[in-house]
Structure 1
Amino acid sequence: MSPPVIPPWPGRSPWPQHPERILVVKPCCLGDVLMATPALRALHLAFPQASIDVAVTAWAAPVLDGNPHLRRLIRYPDRATPQEILRLGLRLRRERYQLGIGLDRSPWVNLLLWLAGIPVRAGIDSRRRGLLLTHRARPRPGQHETELYLEVLEQLGIEQEGLHPEYEVPPGARAAVDRLLADLRIQDRASALVVVHPGGAVNPGATMLSKRWPPERYAELIDRLVVDHGVAVVLVGGSSDREAVEAVKQAARSSVYDLSERLALPELAALCAVAQLFVGNDSGASHLAAAVGTPTVTIFGPTSPLQYRPLGPRSRVCAPEASWHLPTGVDLRRSQREDPTLDIRQVTVDEVYGACAHLLGQAATRC
């Protein structure tokens, strides 16, 4: 594909059509950053000789470790304040970036690109926050985040190269998980490996436990999958997921393997990559599983799958019916937690089991 021709910044002389230094700003969080990886891929393929840096928080940075399209990661402040943004912007000014891409609605992101002295700045113009941008994409109701990020690039003439997210599993993590599974002899005792993440919804500065499907329903789902399909189930999660994991273990009649708090993100990705199925809530873990190609069932509510669902040919979503038909003008970034029709408890065990059984059947056919 020939490099795109980017129009000059109005009022300035034309800038190089083959930028050598590009900055992308995508602060948080795990799932959102993974949803931005198709844009990073498209940007690299459009400018294969350019050095691409990404400003990202320490919380979300691990999902970009080892990404083949990037040169380096730059620490974005965990708590954006005028002082922190000014300090980072002045430091980035010395890098002399020629193109800046903002993949976040935050006005701090657009301000940072301007403070960094980047002549061409493309980003999201939400609620008139794009005044400092030279190229703007406006979100549309019901638009998926990945499509929005790619639309930012379209303002520069850059074509998309697929919607699927990606994550590179480090070889060391894959080897560690292989040893762990061999020690537990999980794959010797079951027809398939199913990873279940019953927690999530806890990010820096934001906790939304209404995004968690009830643990007793996870337990019923696990029991049905074990009895009907002979699967082995591994529970995963971090320290903030301990309560959810314990509740599922207490309610389930079937034996499960508890690997919660034992896996770093690369090992979690490696485990998902060898599993035949992943089941979880609307969280970064579901996007990570989809990014490594695992058949994935994600349970949504009260947030909308229209905007945040994991993408990919083997990704399935179970969500309240009303969440697929939100009226034009509804701000899908807000929780809608007061609407009972969007409550995650509207999703039944039968619905989730059906999606899981379908994907397990596909996996068995491929084997």
Structure 2
Amino acid sequence: MSQIKRIVVIDLLYLGDLIFAHPFFAELRSLFPKARIDLIANSNFAEIMRVNENIDNVYSYNKSWNFIKSIKFARKIKQNNYQLALNIHGNWRTALLLKIVSADQSIGYGSKGRGIFLDKKIDDKISSHMIDYYLKFANELKNNFEQINIEETSTNKFPVLKVEGKYLASAEEKLKKSAIKENFIVLNTGGSWPTKRWPKEYCAELADLLAEKNYDILFVGGPSDTERVNYIIDKIIKKDNIYNLCGETSLLELAAVLKKASLMISGDTGPVHVAAAAGTDTVTIFGPSDERKYAPRGKGNNIIIKNEGLECRPCGEHECPLKHFKCMKEIKADNIIESIQSKDLI
């Protein structure tokens, strides 16, 4: 193990997946305390990993690049002469990239033939939380290099996102400019899949119910969420307590904003995992995705809202196969209020 001085990890998955990988990188650093540990990440979310103290360099890979650009990128990374390459994503794109990077040894997830370029293939069946999925990989590394086996579970492992002062200052300035008070509640209404988005009218109703209780409501999201958020705000009756930073923050500024919030309410999408990792209480509405695998983890309270007893969920589909969308439509604004009041979150 002491001979491994340069390691590259590849994970081109989404924001939440990168947050879930934080305990893995802590384990990797403990295994290789003096090694250079680099990460190749999806360019849309790479920024959030640059504050991870267990990673030395983060390289941004744009998934829209064509084959030629991807080859050039991988060949440039190859010049770092890695001794160990780890594929914790496991699809064909990542397999081919690491093949070109040509580390001395490669270990990774690689089912369905995608492990043909690996020196060691790890079983990639997910039967527990994603944090366990990644820690399982770290455990395999221990077996590979030290011949020991230590069980790791997500019950005592959760992401911790440290936000640097400059981002906290920037967030403070944007919050001050918007004139929002302390103890505000964040609503995140977007989602990478249509089925992860709670209906817009429900979001507006929830904002009204919270505003009636004199809570300040802050909407967040990326540029692609702006139209949706504007529609929701237009439907809100009491607008005095409504604030909007959608499309106005970088990922790390968003993390700083969420750290200052008293509560975040969201669907199962990246920002809610950022909030949990920043230590903020969260309420997550789960529809098609499996809360057993993707529930937010952090030192705060992380409440799950789901349509109990609905046999068709979790389906994991981007569009409702049965065309009724009951997993989200049957969860009402009153259900959210009742849940967070029962947990004394507001």
TM range (shorter): 0.7 to 0.9
1:70 alignment partner in structure 2: 55
**2:41 aligned residue (56, 64, 79):** 56
- The reply on whether 1:312 has 2:303 as its aligned counterpart is no
Q: Distance in 2 between matches of 1:324 and 1:67?
A: 39
Q: Given the superposition, is the C-alpha separation of residues 80 and 155 from structure 1 closer, same or farther in structure 2, using an over 3 Å criterion? A: farther
The structure-2 alpha-carbon separation of the partners of 1:152 and 1:326, relative to structure 1 and needing over 3 Å to count, comes to: farther
Q: Is the 8 A contact 2:167 2:252 kept in 1?
A: yes
- The answer on 1:251 being equivalent to 2:238 is no
**The residue matched to 2:39 in structure 1 has which SS?**
strand
Partner of 2:188: 197
Distance 1:336 1:183, change over 3 A: closer
- Note the 1:8-157 alignment, pairs <5 A: 16-79=1-64, 82-157=67-142
Contact 1:303–1:335 (CA under 8 A) maintained in structure 2: no
Q: Sort the Cα spacing of 1:344 and 1:19 in 2 relative to 1 into closer, same or farther, 3 A.
A: same
Q: Is the 8 A contact 1:336 1:342 kept in 2?
A: no
- Structure 1: distance between partners of 2:326 and 2:130: 20
What displacement does 1:115 show?
2.8
Deviations 1:264-310 (A, max 9, x none): 22221111101110011221111111111110111122232233222
Are the equivalent residues in 1 in contact too, given 2:220–2:245 (CA < 8 A)? yes
Matches of 2:125 and 2:34 in 1, distance apart? 33
Q: Which residue number in structure 1 is paired with residue 256 of structure 2? A: 270
In the alignment, is the contact (CA less than 8 A) between 1:304 and 1:324 conserved in 2? no
* In structure 2, C-alpha distance between the alignment counterparts of 1:286 and 1:42, rounded to whole Å: 24
Residues 1:209 and 2:209 are matched in the alignment: no
Equivalent position SS for 1:55: strand
Change (3 A) 1:149 1:85: farther
CA–CA distance in 1 between the matches of 2:117 and 2:90? Answer: 13
Residues 342 and 307 (structure 1), Cα distance of their counterparts in 2 relative to 1, 3 Å cut: farther
The residue identity in structure 1 corresponding to 2:13 is: C
The CA deviation string for residues 70-115 of structure 1, in whole angstroms up to 9 with x for no partner, is 1111232423655445434433333221221111131221233233
* Uncovered stretches (5+) of structure 1, i.e. residues with no partner: 1-15, 202-207
Distance of aligned partners of 1:93 and 1:179 in 2 relative to their CA distance in 1, 3 Å threshold:
closer
Counterpart amino acid of residue 337 in structure 1: C
Cα pair 2:126 2:133 within 8 Å, conserved = no
- From the superposition, tell whether residues 316 and 115 of structure 1 become closer, same or farther in structure 2 (CA, over 3 Å): same
Moved more, 149-158 or 270-279: 149-158
Give yes or no for contact 2:195–2:319 (8 Å, CA) kept in 1: no
Tell me, yes or no, if structure 1 residue 187 matches structure 2 residue 181. yes
Distance in 1 (CA, whole Å) between partners of 2:59 and 2:52 is 14
Task: Name the SS for the 2:233 alignment partner.
Answer: helix
User: What's the TM-score, normalizing by structure 2?
Assistant: 0.85
| Secondary structure of the structure 1 residue equivalent to 2:252 | helix
In 2, Cα distance between equivalents of 1:94 and 1:100: 13
Partner of 1:164: 158
Change (3 A) 1:242 1:42: same
List gaps (5 residues or longer) in structure 2.
144-149
Residue 338 of structure 1: aligned partner = 321
Output the CA distance in 1 between the equivalents of 2:84 and 2:6: 7
Paired residues of 2:195 and 2:318 also in contact (CA < 8 A): no
What is the DSSP-based 3-state SS (H/G/I as helix, E as strand, rest coil) of the residue aligned with 1:298? strand
- For 1:315, the aligned partner's letter is N
Match for 1:178 among 172, 180, 195?
A: 172
* CA distance in 2 between partners of 1:270 and 1:277 (Å): 13
Aligned length: 333
Q: Return the alpha-carbon distance in structure 2 between the equivalents of residues 209 and 218 of structure 1.
A: 15
With 112-121 and 277-286 compared, the bigger mean Cα shift is at 112-121
CA RMSD of aligned residues (A): 2.7
Could you say what secondary structure the match of 2:142 adopts? coil
Q: Is the 8 A contact 2:160 2:298 kept in 1?
A: no
